[in-house]
Amino acid sequence: GSVFGHLARAPEDPILGVTVAYNKDPSPVKLNLGVGAYRTEEGKPLVLNVVRRAEQTLVNDSSRVKEYLPIVGLADFNKLSAKLIFGADSGINIVKQQVIESSNVFSSRNHVICCRDASYCLILCSPAIQENRVTTVQCLSGTGSLRVGAEFLAKHYHQRTIYIPMPTWGNHPKVFTLAGLSVKTYRYYDPATRGLNFQGLNLSCFLHLHGLLEDLGSAPSGAIVLLHACAHNPTGVDPTLGQWAQIRQLMRSKGLLPFFDSAYQGFASGNLDEDAQSVRMFVADGGECLVAQSYAKNMGLYGERVGALSSVCKTADVASRVESQLKLVIRPMYSNPPIHGASIVATILKDRNMFHYWTIELKAMADRIISMRQQLFDALRSRGTPGDWSHIIKQIGMFTFTGLNSEQVTFMTKEYHIYMTSDGRISMAGLSSRTIPHLADAIHAAVT
Ligand code: PMP
């Protein structure tokens, strides 16, 4: 018998398994809304023109070789990735309108954050990059960046507990647990309002506040908190800037360590700076944080596995010691990262014209997703489908958290050949004007 004869068959991955089931379905009308990958209006995967151009540039450059990269990856890629997420000069960063509201100004050594609400916010950043307080290492896309960051924290950080939102991307708890962290959750989504469970009133205990703020408020001092930088997966619900300001204030006052997962920069609003506001708010106050970046969605580089882990530290000296320890995490894991995808990204980020062209293609992807939201909403309204579907147009990013339960999802898969995760999450990027009527018919039939 085999030495592995005792093995039980493991279940398919809950997200990637949706595609496995979809591939087995012979129906001509089948629709895969499970995995979060962008599709064109024709339902085809998209390689950005700017990526093709960058690849051409790389191919034509005969001086390029296939030597190993350093353990931390491509230097240009790392520097430019930090600039992309933390801001061009991380000098002065003006978000929306400049309104100074004396009632809500936080300041310290070299920054001011002034927020009244989502529409008025002025951030003067602390120049973390210029002060060499940021260390960035190239990793294997978002997942690899999260894993390297988590392994580093498990080894060197005094608090081994990480709080993740409830719900969150299904891979988060596994990545953090296997890295050696202990995973706890904080309340995030409120199914009743289909919005953020920020500090809702608990009616059974009048005046007692609960939700996200209470859960982070009662986390042990120093605990790590995983925050989705924008376009929260799977709910599509993000805090407003005003709520981010409150989260920041609470976390800093308790010494909680922010670990940002930035998998959708530019994909949510169509604007790279706007989607980085949450992260920049935490960097502007001079405090420390970790950020995992992915270029899978915003450059369409899914299979190239390009990402970065940045650590913003109090001093340049600490940052360089952090980097030295990150190398000890990476070396025995995969030695050093692959060269091709990071070279594409660096080529685009360092060329003014290519960068500009990228922002246009990125905005076009974001706009198509936003238009799919409107079309699905309109299609349900025109069918008179019972229920309030306004969350479809309110939610942000690649996914809609429909509110459909697992029985309804099973029904839609069986009767309409529509594939999605059992929590009712659908990828808006997988839809087109052609397929929306079929989806709307299926949702209508599932809820009536
Ligand atoms: N974090 C979140 C929230 C995600 O949705 C994803 C992609 N589904 C990732 C991280 C990582 O993706 P990748 O490893 O492909 O960059």
The pLDDT, as a whole number, for residue 108 is 39
Three-state secondary-structure class, residue 162: strand
Mind giving me the DSSP string for 71-119? TT--HHHHHHHHHHHH-SSSSEEEEEB----GGGEEEETTEEEEEEETT
CA nearest ligand 1 atom 13, residue: 142
Q: How far is the CA of 233 from the centre of ligand 1 (A)?
A: 9
Q: How far is the CA of 261 from the centre of ligand 1 (A)?
A: 8
Half-sphere exposure of 440 (CA within 13 A, CB side): 22
Instruction: Look at 204-213, 352-361, 369-378 and tell me which has the smallest mean pLDDT.
Output: 204-213
Q: Does residue 121 surpass a pLDDT of 70?
A: no
Q: How far is the CA of 299 from the centre of ligand 1 (A)?
A: 13
**Alpha-carbon distances of 322 from 79, 243, 286, rounded to whole Å:** 16, 30, 17
**Nearest Cα residue to 281 out of 250, 308, 323:** 250
Which residues are tagged catalytic?
Answer: 169, 261, 297
CA nearest ligand 1 atom 6, residue: 263
293 CB within 6 A, ligand 1: no
233 CB within 6 A, ligand 1: yes
**Nearest Cα residue to 307 out of 50, 53, 72, 49:** 72
Q: Which residue has the tokens 């087995």?
A: 24
The whole-model pTM stands at 0.91
Examine the predicted complex and report whether its ipTM is higher than 0.90.
yes
Pocket test for ligand 1, best of 169, 259, 290 (most atoms within 8 A of CB): 169
Burial class (CB in 10 A: 0-12, 13-18, 19+), 131: middle
Q: Which residue has the tokens 């936003």?
A: 370
- Ligand 1 atom closest to 36 (CA): 8
CA nearest ligand 1 atom 7, residue: 263
446 CB within 6 A, ligand 1: no
Instruction: Look at 202-211, 234-243, 306-315, 408-417 and tell me which has the smallest mean pLDDT.
Output: 202-211
Q: How far is the CA of 434 from the centre of ligand 1 (A)?
A: 27
Bridging pattern class, strands 105-108 and 92-96: unpaired
Residue 405 parent element (H or E): none
Q: Positive or negative, the Cα torsion across 358, 229, 107, 225?
A: negative
What pLDDT, in 10s, does the model give residues 394-444?
999 999 999 999 999 999 999 999 999 999 999 999 999 999 999 999 999
**Nearest Cα residue to 364 out of 375, 352, 372, 374:** 372
Instruction: Look at 19-23, 117-121, 402-406 and tell me which has the smallest mean pLDDT.
Output: 117-121
Token code pair at residue 292 = 């995992």
Pocket test for ligand 1, best of 294, 306, 428 (most atoms within 8 A of CB): 294
Backbone angles phi, psi at 316, to 5 degrees: -65, -35
Q: How far is the CA of 170 from the centre of ligand 1 (A)?
A: 10
Q: How far is the CA of 66 from the centre of ligand 1 (A)?
A: 27
322 CB within 6 A, ligand 1: no
Instruction: Look at 107-111, 185-189, 237-241 and tell me which has the smallest mean pLDDT.
Output: 107-111
215 CB within 6 A, ligand 1: no
- Ligand 1 atom closest to 307 (CA): 16
The pLDDT, as a whole number, for residue 227 is 98
